[in-house]
Structure 1
Amino acid sequence: MTIDVVIFDIGNVLIEWNPERHYDATIGEARRKEMFAAVDLHGINLGIDTGAPFRQTIERAAKENPAFHDEIMMWYFDWDKMAAPQIPHSVALLRALRAKGVRVIALTNFGAESFEFAETRYPFLAGFDKTYVSGRLGCVKPHRLIYEMLEAGEAAQPDTFLFVDDRPENIDMAARRGWQTHLFDGAEGWARRLVAAGLLTADEAGL
């Protein structure tokens, strides 16, 4: 089947996103587990991904949970250490697709402010033909609205999209809309899918 547009998720596809790992390394696993049991930090971050202001949202959560005030503030001050490192093979695949003239876009749950910061840290994020960032759009995957926004912004038909994401629920929504999909479980598997689709040669895909 023809593919006209390749759509990348970013977190855990191009950049590792593992706040728990950073907290374990800095405050210890026991303290991290205690905090995560008491404070829904991932839920708070989802609000940021939907458009809430980054620093103010984290500051409010820290104020509301004084027992973990300093640790919660790390979500803001240490964010660049949590969203790291980049996944080199995935980044190479993005660049290889661009070099072949394939239209490559991003569809990502990401805060508007944190994405702007990420662009300064990871220059390859400027290599997309277009970025659909949830924090700018006010809607997150897997809500159908963000998929509809992307479809409205693209000239190609949805059945010519190939979408890679690490979350099954995000993939499922795309598949229901007629998109071609790949559930990311490592860069090598994604590389093989791109070769199978005829978008890259094995050599170009680093296989």
Structure 2
Amino acid sequence: MTSEIRHIVFDIGRVLIHYDPQIPYSRLIPDEAQRNWFFANVCTHDWNIEQDRGRKWEDAEALLIKDHPEQEELIRAFRKYWHEMVSHAYLESVAIMEGLIADGRDVTMLTNFAADTFKEARKLYPFLNRPRGVTVSGEVGLIKPDLAIYEKHAQDFALEPAHTLFIDDSDKNVEAARIAGWNAVLFTGTKKLKSDLAAHGVCI
């Protein structure tokens, strides 16, 4: 039998707000093959994730510009046009989260996010200020799916792992939460999320 859920933890990117680096770069690099090469060889996922771990943007940019000086403008465009990448909120997901808060549920957030862009996101999407608190990877120097960030979040917010439900769009992050002793569900849409919440005894 599932333990009573007393704490609900939301991921942010692709759960509450959309994120897609292709949005500005479709304009900046119209040719799809060239754009795919750029993301595979210059501003890669692995490069970007280090900003989520806490690396400063100026250091990240300098690293790439050293190896790809001819791409300097496009490299700097990643941070410059970051706000375009988070183009909209998932309104149904946000409504679920806000409904849980309104019902008196303990809601927090755990996210892989660069520290400075998260501050920008909070201004763009004020609902990110509604939960009781948030652990931002870029602020704490830890990143999902490292177990340490789950343990820190639980400790900082006094969560009981067995009574915690985590919602994330990444299989690896969901599995890591389960290893940390949490209940966890994979987000693929609001219909499934409602079903998953109900299965854990959380009515919305």
Instruction: Give the TM-score of the pair, scaled to structure 1.
Output: 0.90
Match of 2:35 among 29, 32, 36: 32
In 1: Cα distance, 2:24 partner to 2:192 partner:
27
Number of the residue aligned with 1:10: 12
Aligned pairs, how many?
Answer: 201
Corresponding residue for 2:194? 191
Assess if the C-alpha contact under 8 Å between 1:9 and 1:165 holds in 2: yes
Does structure 1 conserve the Cα–Cα contact (< 8 Å) formed by 2:13 and 2:19? yes
RMSD over equivalenced CA pairs, Å: 1.6
1:83-105 deviation digits (Å, cap 9, x = unpaired): 22111111111100100010110
Give the letter for the 2:49 counterpart: L
| Offset, 1:54 | 2.4
Distance in 1 (alpha carbons) for counterparts of 2:62 and 2:97: 35
Residue correspondence of structure 1 range 64-103 to structure 2 within 5 A: 64-103=67-106
- Among 187, 200, 204, which residue is 2:203 paired with? 200
Deviates more, 1:20-29 or 1:68-77: 20-29
- State yes or no: 1:117 paired with 2:120: yes
Are 1:168 and 2:185 matched, yes or no? no
Structure-2 residue corresponding to 1:205: none
Please give the TM-score of this superposition, normalised by the length of structure 2: 0.92
Residue aligned with 2:45, SS:
helix
Q: Is the 8 A contact 1:151 1:158 kept in 2?
A: yes
Q: C-alpha displacement at 1:184, in angstroms? A: 0.7
Query: Distance in 1 between the 2:194 and 2:28 partners?
Result: 34
- Partners of 2:90 and 2:8 lie apart in 1 by 18
Give the Å deviation of 1:72.
1.6
Larger mean CA deviation between 153-162 and 118-127 belongs to 153-162
Q: Which runs of 5+ in 2 are unaligned?
A: none
Is 1:49 matched with 2:56?
no
Query: Aligned partner of 1:122: which letter?
Result: Y
Give secondary structure in 1 for the equivalent of 2:166: strand
CA shift digits 1:121-162 (9 cap, x unpaired): 010010110100001110100011111101211323101000
Using a 3 Å threshold, how does the CA distance of structure 1 residues 47 and 129 change in structure 2: closer, same or farther?
same
Q: Which moved more, 1:183-192 or 1:111-120?
A: 183-192
Distance in 2, Cα, partners of 1:38 & 1:196: 43
Residue 108 to residue 137, structure 1, CA distance change in 2 (3 Å): same
1:176-197: CA deviation from partner (whole Å, max 9, x where unpaired): 1221111011122112222333
- Partners in 1 of 2:104 and 2:41 — Cα distance? 48
Give the equivalent residue in structure 1 for 2:138.
135
